[in-house]
Structure 1
């Protein structure tokens, strides 16, 4: 019972439930009499999103881009004011997600003082830039404040993109957001206060759902009975994954429909007492049957919890997945299939309050395929006219922004708009390109045919997909031959014995047998994975060229050496699931579920310091398979460390006499990641401070991840007390008071060993001299970011050497460039972003001319992230006892522009003007004497190479 419950409130609740039972209807959630303070539980829908991030799924899957083309006199400042007020009004838009023990929670952050709305000039529609911005991941543990970006195509022609995380918003919420933003924008333009009433808060909805969880038991019983024996449809997965599947994981195909198709489908629905959604869902079942040949199918569709006046104006995630199971046997007419689907959908909607993840947990292993895929792999939808942001005084038009991701393996749907069309979206790892294109064509043909004649039977529907060519080879043999490192492969008929595979590699030093078997396990069902893969120097063949089975190694399966990780994996399974498994016992059959997969991965990652995420557990499923996966990753790490150690940049240096553990903050950021890599190459034991939600992003040889956060001062103090040295590379960038408080807490707990703080040249302010020596006095004005860095340095350096503390180093860095997603943001915003975006779009680039403003040079200092990491680690062995600069070089804006245009193949015209753009008003060179040896560039660390490494992934 909640702490706020009283005997009177409890009595009222019992009376309410008794009345609900008497009325033979499920009880509705009890209203919360007063707003509760502090963290709230996650709703089941939020928990699913949170788990996907923790499992290691793609975060771009759950980005919600909301873009509108605006024509007319647009005011970005008024939008900033409106967006700031919107985020203040709705706590869910400024909520972070943490974990207390095994349970996640949500907690509203303070409302930001102002939300910046960047404006970027582009000559075209800016589609590429919109997609890049929409794909930028959120960090749920840091908050989900929506991001804004405005593209200016002309003086009165703009595109506004707002990007939300799905954990904070759904389709119904977008309508509320659009309406409120329009009203808030109008008030800001008029310079008056808005009159909107205060909205309901999503955390209260979450508390009501959590308090009323007991009512779900009957619904869970229904779903258990309804879905017992159901399996996920077997989609024809590609034999070889596309080379660019990581960059382009999904494909979306639409096919225009005749103008009479949708009216005919509506009329069919009317006659069969069904909506057009139900008719579209029936068509999806028919198309899936023709694709798979299966008669017992499950397709998912979205349901909403938005009911009643209490939900009006609520922003948040109020959706659930309904698994609809339909029997297609008997070759029914399509109209009959519509009736079957209608009845199944109505039955499902009667139990829509039961979260799909709870259904999966109740069903256990039977609800998942051999690769860990959940029961619902295919969904159906009808897409209507999209919401657009209609700001007063402006013409508005919705802009489609795709993130290139698919939430499910396959979605079949309809566009019910002025331009009706069929929709097929699929994951490119689940369906090959040829099948996807054929399915898109056949689905449109099917819709057209049943609109003309609803009495067509399933067997008579047009557009049947071509059957795949017969292949006598075993699937494991086909998969091995598709591997780029395998020249020959053979999997003979086991004839009652164990299934064996034989392979010949293309080169010496290729993948090991364990790695090849791990590869097969990732793409085949467990029953198709060979007991072992034997490597041969050559494949024995007969005179006619066929494989000679008599000369293949035979007999019992060679006894593979016991995995060094199997015992640790088995113990982790035992500790989490409460029973000791055999090597091949299934995780889900043992009672495992999504959250348990996350927990198991975190335990093993912390104990073994090897990369592992929950999705790995769900796909491998058995202790033996998990151990073999860890074996392969340990071998990869050993090879990577050996390669790093042999590089010139990793030459042995003098170390401190006393070996100690180094605490590193900011390991999930660009700088911290390179610091961790450098420490690992030198064999230093490391504690990496990270939020639990981000821990899976940190890993490496000798790295132990511990829980902590800049806003949690107790965790910072505890982390510092447990280390012999500290590298503080974390920063909020936008909340200087948090940065300073964090440094104060860390310095207060620091009692020994060296302390290195990654600071910024912004701490120098705007010096009068163009040549800036190390430790020069700061010159006003300082930005809030620069002032915070200076304040942190003072806290650190004043404490160094006192009460047994070691030496301190404040390493001031400029722009940090390197091949890391966080560092690639330098190419989106600020001075480098201004030049990059203009060159990318072929826009004219105006640079300050030499002598403009009385200064003969304009440009910026920069440092390669690897060089900065070497300098930081060098300070652990030899503290500078003060301030040192870490600068790889200086680049004039003209030279940087030339590099960017060359790498992008841009034809941007470059002009030099006496007027200096605010973002380009930088003219200082910084000396970097103290750390010069560590900063000496290694091969591949020149300006051209690092820019190329940063730009190439953004061009895809």
Structure 2
């Protein structure tokens, strides 16, 4: 890495001259691949499915950040990135779906790569990097990498490149870093004479095609893995905590414990004595630590394998990793040396069949590869981490920056940091393991590594680390939990017979234990009368399903429930049969029949089209049986039947003064509809066919469509006399902007009200923030999209017969509605709510931190926002207005949540500022002050209490 820093003024002038020379050179664009769409590799398929199921979040973002000290030529960096994306087609690939099957398609290379530069202090960089890394990719539009440069000073920058994991893995990142350095140097070099032509790299789509063609040669490997993993079960981590309300966000924690610098060398020497690598030794230590932590002997840990073999794949950028599930027997209290040999043999055996995709293994195993909640077999992984990859650019000194996106792919991961600062670490999902238990495990893993480095002859029982003390696993009927807690009961199940009484079943730990009457008396002493089973039956063994749960169908005395019938049940049976190859019994498990994530998506789409009822792939994976899927569809049909007949099912009538409302099925839209109905205004509501019944009411016509349908949007706008645009994708800003463009294009008369966001202000300098203040960088992608939509709307207002326009910027929207309750599942309120719900400490920024006297957020009651929005139909503001009901400090909000939830959480203050809590602005809201005036029940405490207790559809539960 270069360390010289040439004289800054002369160099900056020279770099400027080079940039101008580059700008004058014509750009030649290579064509997109002529081979057409390619199938997805198995590894890509998994990423695509997680994205479709809504589980991707930021888990599969790959941020690559480097702090660069020295002069940085941003134009040269942009040119290098442009060349890189041209060279590697996978970096400009989109992912679509045809006939239920995903495919990848190479897009034309961009003419130039955008590299935004944001001026910011180093202390604010972390929050900006995290926010950028957490921005969601739209795989259907393409996974083009994103670049961001933070400028801290004249010769001090941070460069962040963010990729989606579907397009890159660890070795690919090393290739990208090396080529970027070389391309940057070439771009910054004077003279028009081109250098030697770079060898064309292999392309990932060709690898995916070869893998697809070789699928029929995997039978032997599949048989091997199925036999090896038969009867294996996911690791049971002790001390589970309740999952957060947004289980898809998978918030992660990491605990790192430093090691003596001599430990890695000792571990390497230990491996040599046993014909093993240091990776194998660290993996054996992970098995030992997991054994000590869980008390289990039969363990499965996943490790990353690779498909990169031979010179033909050298320089390939793409996702070539594969999970290998290693099953190791830790029974008999072996020495660590003996365990190491078992792990070595298991790893060598796995390498023989490393080409078998993990997803195919799961499909072959079916329900046996999943827990009762559908979680896949591998919940724990292990790896050895070397020195991180750094972007090395000529004339600069680079330092790696870790950008944590706050999410974890697995419940628990062990890591040995093998660098000049060695350490043992664990990363974990907080929904699977609490912080205290994880801290003990991290320290124990590091101590175990040090202990076996010193004495590998120690038996597992002599190694550091023990399982945390925890109560019996929670869950199930209260009587079942109480029976399992009985010291003489090994297993228990409580079942409500269809149309019959509550029955309990128990397996005693040994003969001569309590009689059934004694166990029932035990339950009567601790439970309310309606929770006590009418009988307790003792069994020699509890019959179980393939996933290890109690099987009600085989419990004595439980009458068989009749098979569901009717058109929905028949559609479900046919759907299962068509996609899984056989007609299922009512209680057959989806996974046991060979189902997997893609099949779940396909089945949901098939049933949604056939029955016009809302259904997702996640619904299928959670319901799992034809009986349960049918019951779910029956419930949704009942909801639709109870609603008024959607006007989309009957001819629409033209009505003067009709207001089009987008987002009518959302929380804000529901309150806007309510306000319009109270004023007697005719409404045209935009909704998908399966959701039309949710908005049908007297005075409301329904038109089918959504934000991704520009033609439908134009038709809807053309049929209305006024527009209230309250819909938003939240995660796909490009769709939001395209939708606004289509609506403005069709807008020809009447007023237009756009529900925008205070995020459009970015990070303003003024305090408080006046309405229509200038927006300041950095803006989030969501905020930038809102600002772009506002500008598009306000430019068109008053032209071509159009009426006035109003952009109503709202903050967090609170209200007693199920969709608004999502505020408790993400962002700042979600962070605090979930911590209070779990009884974890609520850590808040102390006032005065970073020079800001106040930390908190503005909020608005949904009813007040609706009044403000509807008022703009009669009196447009012809610009931007804020809609704010009040401001609340994080401490006050935390105290409210703790009290309302009855939580034992402690509220702490610190000088650290979590990115989600880094908000300190007040917003003025004078233009709409009259309609925003609070009405009874719209104070902060009342609405927050209603949201905490709110059930589906806004009904209090």
Q: Give TM class, smaller chain.
A: 0.5 to 0.7
Query: What is the CA-CA distance between 1:594 and the residue it aligns to?
Result: 1.1
For the 8 Å contact 1:130–1:401, the answer to whether it is kept is yes
Structure-2 change in CA distance of 1:35 and 1:667 (3 Å): farther
| Counterparts of 1:677 and 1:57, CA distance in 2 | 29
- How far did 1:107 drift? 3.1
The answer on whether the counterparts of 1:687 and 1:723 sit within 8 Å (CA) in structure 2 is no
What is the deviation of 1:318?
1.5
**Residue among 342, 350, 353 paired with 1:348:** 350
Q: For 2:668 and 2:803, how far apart are their aligned partners in 1?
A: 18
Distance 1:275-1:573 versus aligned 2 partners, 3 A rule: farther
What does residue 392 of structure 1 align with? Answer: 394
CA contact (8 A) 2:304 2:321 kept: yes
Matched, 1:594 2:597: yes
Q: Which residue of 2 aligns with 1:268?
A: 270
Q: Deviations over 1:150-204 (max 9, x none)?
A: 3444443332222222112111121122223323433444566775735443333
SS at the partner of 2:414? strand
Indicate the residue corresponding to 1:201 in structure 2. 203
Which SS does the other structure have where 2:413 is aligned? strand
How has the CA–CA distance of structure 1 residues 206 and 82 changed in structure 2, closer, same or farther, with 3 Å as cutoff?
Answer: same
Q: Secondary structure at the match of 1:222?
A: helix
Supply the distance in 2 between the matched residues of 1:202 and 1:815 (Cα, whole angstroms): 44
Q: Structure 2-normalised TM-score?
A: 0.65
Shift of 1:87: 3.5
> Which residue in 2 is equivalent to 1:71?
69
Check the 8 A contact 1:237/1:429 in 2, yes or no: no
**Distance in 1 (alpha carbons) for counterparts of 2:130 and 2:281:** 33
Structure 1: how far apart are the matches of 2:487 and 2:750? Answer: 61
Query: 2:20 corresponds to which residue?
Result: none
Q: Matches of 1:270 and 1:737 in 2, distance apart? A: 59
Q: Secondary structure at the match of 2:272?
A: helix
1:499 and 2:494 equivalent? Answer: yes
Match of 2:341 in 1: 339
Equivalence for 1:122:
121
Q: State the Cα RMSD in Å.
A: 6.3
Partners in 1 of 2:205 and 2:942 — Cα distance? 48
CA contact (8 A) 1:739 1:788 kept: no
| CA distance in structure 1 between the partners assigned to 2:491 and 2:362 by the alignment | 35
Give the match's secondary structure for 1:353. coil
Cα contact 1:605–1:611 (8 A) shared by 2? yes
SS in 2 for 1:314: coil
* Corresponding residue for residue 168 of structure 1: 167
Q: Which is worse superposed, 165-174 or 493-502?
A: 493-502
Partner of 2:881: 888
- Whether 2:142 is the aligned partner of 1:143: answer yes
CA distance change for structure 1 residues 903 and 496 in 2, over 3 Å: closer, same or farther?
Answer: closer
Question: Equivalents in 1 of 2:930, 2:177: separation in Å?
Answer: 55
Bigger shift: residues 587-596 or 935-944: 935-944
Aligned to 1:90: 88
| Structure-1 separation of matches of 2:186 and 2:507 | 64
1:842 matches 2:842: no
Q: State whether structure 2 residue 494 is matched by structure 1 residue 462.
A: no
1:637 positional shift? 12
Give the alignment of 1:893-932 within 5 angstroms. none
Say if 1:250 and 1:428, in contact at 8 Å, map to a contact too. Answer: yes
Once the two structures are superposed, the pairs formed by residues 766-777 of structure 1 within 5 Å of their partners are none
1:572 matched to 2:561? no
Residues 445, 465 of structure 2: 8 Å contact kept: no
C-alpha deviation, 1:841, in angstroms: 7.4
Q: Displacement, 1:358?
A: 1.3
Displacement of 1:430: 1.9
Shift of residue 349, structure 1, vs aligned partner:
1.8
What residue in structure 2 maps to residue 917 of structure 1?
none
Q: For 1:633 and 1:377, how far apart are their aligned partners in 2?
A: 33
Cα distance in 1, alignment partners of residues 672 and 385 from structure 2: 50
Name the SS of the counterpart of 1:575 in structure 2: helix
1:375 is aligned, of 366, 374, 377, to 377
In 2, distance between residues paired with 1:940 and 1:82? 58
Question: Could you tell me how far apart the structure 2 residues matched to 1:567 and 1:427 are?
Answer: 41
Q: By how many angstroms is 1:57 displaced?
A: 1.5
Q: Number of residue pairs matched?
A: 781
Report the CA distance shift for 1:449/1:826 in structure 2 as closer, same or farther (over 3 A): closer
Identify if the C-alpha distance between structure 1 residues 933 and 201 changes in structure 2 by more than 3 Å, giving closer, same or farther: farther
Q: Is the 8 A contact 1:757 1:793 kept in 2?
A: no
> Whole-Å Cα distance in 2 between the matches of residues 397 and 344 of structure 1?
38
Shift of 1:44: 1.1
Aligned-partner SS, 1:61:
coil
Between the aligned partners of 1:527 and 1:84, the Cα distance in structure 2 is 66
1:658-677 paired onto structure 2 within 5 Å: 674-675=668-669
The equivalent residue for 1:650 is none
Cα shift readout 1:454-493 (whole Å, capped 9, x = no counterpart): 23333x4322414746769996439989xxxxxx999999
Q: Report the Cα offset of residue 566 of structure 1.
A: 9.8
| Correspondence for 1:99 | 97
| CA offset digits 1:698-747 (Å, max 9, x no partner) | 9966699988775x877878999999999776798779996798569979
Shift of 1:53: 1.9
Report SS of the residue matched to 1:180.
Answer: helix
Per-residue CA deviations over 1:41-100 (Å, capped at 9, x if unaligned) read 222111101111222314111121211122222344543444344344434333332222
Q: TM-score, normalised by structure 1?
A: 0.65
Corresponding residue number in structure 1 for 2:182 = 183
Alignment check: 8 A CA contact 1:257 1:421 kept: yes
| 8 Å contact from structure 2 (residues 241, 433) kept in 1 | no
Structure 2: runs of 5 or more not aligned = 1-31, 509-519, 537-556, 645-651, 678-682, 758-769, 773-786, 814-819, 830-844, 854-858, 895-908, 912-923, 947-957
> d(CA) in 1 for partners of 2:54 and 2:296?
31
- Whether 1:554 and 2:548 are equivalent positions in the alignment is no
Deviation (angstroms), 1:688: 4.2
Q: Is the 8 A contact 1:57 1:615 kept in 2?
A: no
Secondary structure in structure 1 of the residue aligned to 2:428: strand
C-alpha deviation, 1:408, in angstroms: 0.9
Q: Is 1:298 aligned with 2:297?
A: no
Report the CA distance between 1:379 and its aligned residue. Answer: 1.0
CA distance in 1, matches of 2:92, 2:534: 63
Specify the alignment match of 1:20 in structure 2.
none
Deviations 1:613-638 (A, max 9, x none): 43443344234545667799999999
* 8 Å CA contact 2:82, 2:113 repeated in 1: yes
* 8 Å Cα contact 1:122-1:843 kept in structure 2: no
Once structures 1 and 2 are overlaid, which stretch shifts more, 339-348 or 213-222? Answer: 213-222
**How does 1:284-295 map onto structure 2 within 5 Å?**
284-295=286-297
Moved more, 300-309 or 365-374: 300-309
Q: Counterparts of 1:870 and 1:328 in 2: how far apart (Å)?
A: 65
Range that drifts further, 46-55 or 330-339: 330-339
1:855-894 counterparts in 2 under 5 A?
885=878, 887-889=880-882
**Correspondence for 1:446:** 448
- Per the alignment, residue 157 of structure 2 pairs with 158
Query: Following the alignment from structure 2 to structure 1, what is the Cα–Cα distance between the partners of residues 937 and 91?
Result: 42
- In the other structure, the counterpart of 1:132 is 131
Change (3 A) 1:816 1:239: closer
Distance in structure 2 (CA, Å) of the matches to 1:561 and 1:138 = 45
Give yes or no for contact 1:41–1:210 (8 Å, CA) kept in 2. yes
1:308 aligned to 2:301? no
Question: For residue 899 of structure 2, what is the aligned residue in structure 1?
Answer: none
Residues 64 and 166, structure 1, Cα contact 8 Å, conserved in 2: yes
1:617 aligns with 2:615: no
Q: Do the aligned partners of residues 809 and 312 (structure 1) sit closer, same or farther apart at CA in structure 2, a change above 3 Å counting?
A: farther
Distance across 1 between alignment mates of 2:472 and 2:791: 68
Note if contact 1:740-1:792 (Cα within 8 Å) is conserved in structure 2.
no
- Distance in 1 (CA, whole Å) between partners of 2:852 and 2:533 is 68
Q: Which moved more, 1:181-190 or 1:731-740?
A: 731-740
> SS of the counterpart of 2:303?
strand
CA contact (8 A) 1:814 1:863 kept: no
Separation of aligned partners in 1, 2:390 and 2:664: 39
Q: In structure 2, the residue corresponding to 1:842 is in which secondary structure?
A: helix
In structure 1, distance between residues paired with 2:70 and 2:605: 52
Q: How does 1:209-228 map to 2 (within 5 A)?
A: 209-228=211-230
Tell me, in whole angstroms, the C-alpha distance in 1 between the residues paired with 2:910 and 2:465: 46
SS in 2 for 1:267: helix
